[in-house]
Structures are given as C-alpha cells and as structure tokens.
Chain A
Amino acid sequence: MLEVKNLHVTVDGKAILKGLDLTVNKGEVHAIMGPNGSGKSTLAYVMAGKPGYEATEGEVLLDGENILEMEPDERAAEGVFLAFQYPLEIPGVATMTFLRTALNAQRKARGQAELSTPEFLKTVREAAAKLEIGQDMLRRGVNVGFSGGEKKRNEILQMALLEPRLCVLDETDSGLDIDALKIVSDGVNRLRSPERAMIVITHYQRLLDHIVPDVVHVLSKGRIVRTGGKELALELEANGYAQYQDEAALAS
C-alpha cells in the first residue's frame, strides 16, 4: 500500500530525511521509533503535505501513485490521515462544523453524496461515545480548551469518521493517562482492518502493548536503520538508541 523510496526531505534548507525507505502493506501496523529529532514527525508531515517540507529526492507511493505533488486535501481524499503530535486549536471553528466540512469534502472528492444532518449527527455521536468524548466538547471550537489527552482522542475521532486507508499516528500516546491510553488504543484497534495500513510513531513500549505492531522500525538521523518484529521495541526499551546513532553516523 505505502512505498517510500529514497526519500530526502529538507526543512528550511536543512536536510532532515536522508534517503528513507519504507514499505507498509495493507492490513499491517508498523511502529516507528527513534531518538528525538531523528525525523519521525518530518516523515509524517511530508506524507500529509505540510507546506515547507520539501522532498528533494525520492517518492512516496500510495497504491502505486506518487502523492508528493498533491495538495494536503487531495491526499486526505486519497485516504491519508495524520494524527498530529500537537493537534492545533482553532478558536471560532465549531468542532461539529469542522467534522462535517471535512467529511463532506472527502465524500465529494470521492463522488459520494453528502451525509444528511441526522446521519451525520448519529455517526459522530456514536464514534464520540466510543472515545468517551462528550457533547460539551463537540460544542466547543476545534480543540479549544481541550486537555492534551482530549486533543489526542479528538484526533482518533476524526480518524474514525474519515476512515482513511493510511493512518499515521504521531506520538498519539504522549500526554495520555493510563485510562485514556486504553480508550485511544481501543479506538485505533477498532480501525485495524485488512484494507488499511497504519504507521504508529511512538517512544514507548506501553502503547505497543495495546496496539501490537507487525513491524518495528528504528529511525535515526533521517534513515531507517533497523527493522524487526515487535520484540525490537522491547529491545529498544532495554538498551536505548545509542548503538543506532553510531550506525547512522557511520552510514552517513
């Protein structure tokens, strides 16, 4: 489903990703771990199309189609979803208006009819209830006054409603208490499907206890330096990244 080939990315003229390769098949969940500043969020942003993240070399193929030239909204309509490490607050844009505009825009881009108001409300209420997101939160501006954990749950709500093909979760576990971690992980696990690929960026094994990955990658200094099974995460937890930083330094 996703093939990242020799991807080089610069931000403000600074090279961050330096020849990254990654393949994620349908139905798989891949975890990406790695030291702070190694380029994990950069990879997530460049896939979502954030302005200022310039791919100078390589491709990102989604079912064979290079998405790097697409606008962020076009990628979203193609099924790319990024759960942000730091979800933004948008005062004055009501959460419901935001969800509805997003959902209908994607439906329109795919040639589907808009959801009727009752259908939409029902869908949102059900999805929100599963994530323990209350009506009062839905009535506020997007993420306005939400706690860190609430913002993360709101990201998963959006993901559940938009039903993407490729989900990229950037440190969705950071800032979550133990109960919220469970709620969010259950939400993510419900979306696991043979038709969907997921990339879970995290620093902690505890998330991977809930969302058990098929493959674990180590990203260091802009490259994938090691790939393994779920036991790799345990090994990292025990030994840290020291050896990979050296390897990456040698390789570059």
Chain B
Amino acid sequence: MNAEVRAMKTSAEQALAEAYAAAKARLPGNGAVQALREAAFKRFEADGLPNRRIEEWKYTDLRVLMREAKPPAGAPDAAAKARAAEAGKLAGDIDARRIVFVDGAFVPELSDLAALPPGLTVRPMAEALAAGDPRIAAHLGKVIPGDGMVALNTALMRDGALIHVAAGATVERPLHLIFAAAGTQPASVFCRSLVVIEPNARVMLVESHEAAAGHQVNAALELIVGAGAHVDHVKIVAGAGDALHVATLIAAVGARARFNDFSFNIGCGVVRNQLFVRFDGEAALANIGGASLLNGDQHSDTTLVADHKAGGCQSRELFKAVLDGRSRSVFQGRIIVQPGAQQTDAKMMTRALLLSEEAEADSKPELEIFADDVQCGHGATMGSLDRSLKFYLMARGIPEPEAEALLVQAFVGEAVESIEDAGLRDALMEQVAAWLKARGG
C-alpha cells in the first residue's frame, strides 16, 4: 500500500509529504488551523505538483522544474540574518517601514514595527496563527479558492505578515515586506501573508523577494481591498539563477476601490507569478501590470485571472517581458466577466521583446464573457527590437548596445509607468539599466 503510493509520487512530492508529516505537529496554529493544513495538504497530494497535464501549468511543469524538494528552512542563523540586512535594495531608497523575514521567519531586529500609526496593525503570521487571531479564522484561505500550490502553502506556511488597516486610515509610509531566503543550505520556504484593508483606507505595500542559490520559495498573499480603499502593491523578485519562486496573489477588490498592482521580476531561475484578482464591488479601478527581464536559462510565468464579479469596474493589465539568452516567458491571462457584471471595461495586453534568437515567449490571453454590455479586449505582441528605430539611434552616433538599451528601457518603461510612486519607478528603471549594462549596454 505504502509502496504503491510512493511509486506514484515524484521524489519531490515524496519529500514534501515527508516534510509535512514531520513538521505538522510543530507548525504554528490552533486546532482549526491544523485542520486547514490537513485539508490543504490532502488537496495538494491529490493532484501532486502541477505539471503540464494541467492546463494552467502547461508551460511551467513543476514536476520537471522542481526535480527535488528542498527541506523546509530552519530558523535563520546569524549569517543568514546578516546577509538579509542588505536585502530589499532593489526598491531603491524609498522611505518605507521594513518588515523582514529571513528563511521564512520574521526577524524583529531587522524590522521596524515601532510606533505604528493609528489604524495600522502588523503582526507576524506565526504569532497570529499560534494566538488564534480572529482575522485568521475570518479570512485565511477564504478570500478566493487558490490552487494546488496555494494549498501546499497553506499546509506548510510558517510565517509572513498579518496586516490590518482600519477603515479610513491612511498609512503614509509604505510597508516594505522583505523576504530573504538567505541560508547557505538550499531550503524551501513557505511564507503566507494576509492583508486586510478596511473601506476607504489607503496604503502602499512593497514586497521584495530575494532568494539565494538553490532555494525554493512558495509565497502566498491574500489581500482584501475594502470599498473605496486605495492600495498600491509592488512586488519585486530577484534571486539566484537556480532559485525557484512560486507566488500567488489573491485579491478581492471592493466597490470604488483603486488597486494598483505591479510585479517586477529581475533574476531568479524559475518564477511562477499567479495573480487571482476578483472584483467584488462595483466601479472599482485596477491597474495590474508587470515586467520581467530574463536571461540565461531563466523561466518566468505570469498567470493572471481578473474575475469581474461586479459590474462597472475598469481593469487594465499590461505585462512585458524582455528575453535574452535561452530564457522563456509565459503569460496566461484570463479576464472573466460574470453574468450581470455589466459595463465592465477590461483591457489586457502582453508584449514580449526577444533579444536573442534562442529565447522563447508564449502568451495565452483569454476572455470569458457572460455579460453583453461590456468593453473587453486583449492583445499580445512578440518580436525583436525594431531595426529601423535602432538604425535611427545609431545614425546619431549611439553605439548598438546603447541604442538597444534605450529601446529596451522605453519598452519596459511603458509598463513601469503604471506604478504611482515615482521613487519606486526610478528604482526599478535603475535595475533595468543595470541589467542592460550587465548584458553589454
């Protein structure tokens, strides 16, 4: 019996099952959380690691990309903490409140949780799970049903941030969640955050994920954007060429809310960035964008579902990828307009710029529309740099690498522009410039 089950699992799946069995008694959470973990792990186990036979994972086969599962990270040691003190630089020098997690565990001495403004609550997830924080029971795992990787996260989640912003509160200083997988031994990290923004509140959230060699990160963030709230969320992913980052954003957007989401991916071997956004109230406005810069053998998959459950919302999705070397990008975007979500205005665009002949981009935009009075559209382009534009620049004396760099910056800049914070925009464009310089621009 045992042997039979084992035979059906890949060695990574087997290692995850063993890791869960060994860890579950010690993972934080009361009985209800334990039941949640148990159910989630069963769900994960039923399907196993997502693979190409599952439509949504056709281009990103984790059975292949994750041949082995690294052991769950232990408590971070001093060396890892020292390395993590440097993390979060990709966001530039924005004045933000740092909340630092090293190897998946909250590190108070690197974080700045002193003197939080009125209306803002920040609590480490491990502590909240252990203490039975009522917001966990109310929301965790309940916002939008996730998929198998979210289930795996739920089963093994250790720490992360529980953030609550009270109705009407404006959090002036952005919150910067820094997740550094910095241990010398490759490990797997499961971080889970829950952010509840009550109506008419305003906050900007920056997430930086940096992973050292060989680490495997599974990050999930559930975000509730209350009616009339204004939320900016920028996620930056960088890491070693053989690190793996699977992240899921689950967001429920209330009526008249403004939600600006941006995913920036520069570095990290394999990235699967899932965005499940549901419009629950009318007349919300969302900008969901992203940019990936890939080289070497990097693989980056953005999978987006924008589910318009309520009518009158406007969503704009613009995702760009720049590919060099033998890298590969995937964009799967689906806009759903539920019956009755009239006057939905949704436009989705994805563009891939191929700098090398060996790079490859796939895009699969889809519309599922069940209402008649809507404006929806999608488009996808893919191509190399415009030769005549390059010639125009070179004819003015600009050498080829610099001419290419200018054009690539313009290409990425169009997406980065949707970020409201100018400092952050500049910081990301500096990363783009550095990336181009490294390739010889």
Inter-chain contacts of B413 with A (CB < 8 A):
92
Q: Which residues of A contact B397 (CB under 8 A)?
A: 73, 76-77, 102-103, 105-106, 109, 162
| Residue B406 at the chain A interface, CB threshold 8 Å | yes
Q: Mark A57-90, 1 if CB is under 8 A from B, else 0.
A: 0000000000000011101110001101001101
Interface of B is mostly: helix
* Alpha-carbon distance between A109 and B407 when the two chains are bound, in angstroms: 21
B392 x A84 contact (CB < 8 A): yes
Once the chains bind, are B398 and A88 in contact (CB under 8 Å)? no
**Contact status B396-A93, CB under 8 Å:** no
Q: Which chain B residues border A71 with CB–CB below 8 Å?
A: 394, 399-400
Question: Counting CB contacts under 8 A, is A220 at the interface?
Answer: no
A25-60 at interface with B (beta carbon < 8 Å): 48-51
Among the listed B388, B396, B406, which residue makes an inter-chain contact with A76, where contact means beta carbons less than 8 Å apart? B396
B399 / chain A contacts, CB cutoff of 8 Å = 71, 73, 105
**Across the interface, do A162 and B396 meet the contact criterion of CB distance under 8 Å?**
yes
Known interface pairs A72-B391, A84-B392. Does A90 touch B410 (Cβ–Cβ under 8 Å)?
A: yes
Q: What residues of chain A lie closer than 8 Å to B394, measured between beta carbons? A: 49, 71-73, 76
Chain A residues with CB below 8 A from B402, complex form:
101, 105
A172 within 8 A of B: no
Q: Give how many A residues have a beta carbon under 8 Å from the other chain's beta carbons.
A: 30
A124 → B minimal CB distance (Å): 14
Q: For A82, what are the chain B residues with a Cβ–Cβ distance below 8 Å?
A: 395
Total number of B residues with any Cβ neighbor in A under 8 Å: 22
A185 contacts the other chain (CB 8 A): no
Asked if B389 is an interface residue, CB under 8 A from chain A, the answer is yes
Q: Do residues A76 and B410 form an inter-chain contact, with CB atoms below 8 A? A: no
Q: How far is A71 from B407 in the complex, measured between Cα atoms in Å?
A: 18
A73 to B122, CA, bound (A): 55
In whole angstroms, how far apart are the Cα atoms of A75 and B399 in the complex? 11
From B392, B398, B414, contact of A105 by CB (8 A): B398
- Partner of B398 from A50, A51, A101 at Cβ < 8 Å: A101
Contact with B along A156-186 (1 / 0, CB 8 A): 0010001000000000000000000000000
Q: Would B406 and A97 count as touching, CB distance under 8 A? A: yes
A92 and B395 in contact, given A71-B400, A97-B406 (Cβ under 8 angstroms): no
B398 touches A92 (CB 8 A): no
Interface pair A90/B391, CB less than 8 Å apart: no
16 A-B contact pairs sorted by A residue (CB < 8 Å)? A49-B394, A51-B391, A73-B398, A73-B399, A76-B394, A77-B397, A88-B389, A92-B409, A92-B410, A93-B410, A101-B402, A102-B397, A105-B402, A106-B396, A106-B397, A158-B396
Q: Which residues of B contact A (CB under 8 A)?
A: 387-389, 391-400, 402-403, 406-407, 409-411, 413-414
Q: 10 additional contacts, CB 8 Å, given A102-B397, A109-B397?
A: A49-B391, A73-B397, A73-B398, A84-B392, A88-B392, A92-B409, A105-B396, A105-B402, A106-B397, A162-B397
